[in-house]
Amino acid sequence: MVRIEGEEGRVRRVVTKTTEYDADLVIMAAGVRPNVDIARDAGLEIGETGALAVNEFMQTSDPDIYAGGDLVQNRHLASGRACFAPLGSTANKHGRVIGDNVCGGASRFAGISGTFICKVFYFNAGATGLTEAKAAAAGLDFYTANASGMDIAHYYQGAQAMAQKLVIERGTDRVLGYQAIGGGDTARRIDVVATAIRFGATIDQLADLDLAYAPPYAQAVDCLLHAANAARNKRDGVMKGISPAEARALLQADKAAVIDVRGEMEYKRMRLPARRSYNIPVDDLPARVAELPRDLPLIAVCTVGLRGYAAQKTLDAAGFADVRVLEGGLFQWPWKDELQ
């Protein structure tokens, strides 16, 4: 970017080296880099992330010099690795540890879970732990589960749908990460998973949590616990799930067909792009399985994943070899502009 131009006090365009973009709104998302010049000049050790290295007492490589806040690197509790995650909440915790220790105490900073949240217009978008990409970069073997859900009782005023994704270590079943976005209360579920990650919780332990329930606050099975159960069902082979990205790749290569088990009107209004697509409402499915091809994988699709799961069980019982549920349903399909 070369410059931002405006007229009459309002932004009008963004000028780059090669072109111009008309703009009514410019969002700067340039990231943050720690300014470690003074620390480097003083001979202090810089960490592998480019931020200042400190130990759990918040001491730099010179034990008489403490550092905290956006300048330092942290240890990530899910990956065990160094990471750079400048946040005011973390800086405050650093400050308390440093304050204790410069006064003769021996306080330790435990590390971070990589938690963040931000308000994106009407959406509350946040995450904790590792994303799929970060888990892969950390060399971890993992599985994921996408699940949609309502943040409070679906019949209660103001209920909002949420898209959720869990990342879980294969073998240990340890929860590695969680991402959530929606108009409703994502922050609560993110904080619960941040806490669970702090204590090395497994997906089974997460699913069992005794979370606060009353209709103004949650569904009787909280959407987070539903996501955990979906992950367990997927692990155990009870639910055969497919992520939106995997489904898209199969469908684009025409290596799978869609079985959309929503109502006809729903299907006509909006559906997945696929060369082979069948619409049979879930209640009609047992009587109409003969209409479906048996020579290629089927992707069972509905709005949030519930009817798709029922369809998978029906088709499994009818002897279909490879039926997978689109996890999170159409609600969680990220490529809205590709829908037909």
Structure tokens at 46: 């810089």
Q: What is the DSSP string of 175-213?
A: EEEEEEEESS-HHHHHHHHHHHHHTT-BHHHHHT-----
Distance CA 272, CA 275 (A): 10
What character string, x for contact with a copy of itself (CB under 8 A) and - otherwise, covers 25-64?
Answer: ----------------------------------------
Our CB check for a copy of itself shows the closer of 56 and 141 to be 56
Q: Which two tokens stand for residue 295?
A: 């020579």
Does residue number 11 form part of the binding site for a copy of itself (CB under 8 A)? no
Segment lying near a copy of itself (by CB under 8 A), choices 9-17, 82-90, 131-139, 303-311: 82-90
Strand duo 323-326 + 241-242: pairing = parallel
Note the Cα 25 to chain centre separation in Å.
26
160 binds a copy of itself (CB under 8 A): no
Shortest distance, position 194 Cβ to a copy of itself, whole Å: 5
Q: By three-state DSSP, how is residue 294 classified?
A: coil
Q: Can you say whether residue 98 is alpha, beta or left, with left for phi > 0 and alpha for psi between -120 and 50 degrees?
A: alpha
Task: Select from 140-148, 212-220, 239-247, 322-330 the region that touches a copy of itself (CB under 8 A).
Answer: 212-220
Among positions 228-267, residues that touch a copy of itself (CB under 8 A) are 229
Is 313 a binding residue for a copy of itself by CB under 8 A? The answer is: no
The residues of the shown chain that bind a copy of itself, judged by CB under 8 A, are 77, 87-93, 96, 109-119, 124, 126, 128, 185, 187-188, 190-192, 194-196, 198-199, 201, 205, 208-214, 216-218, 220-222, 225, 229
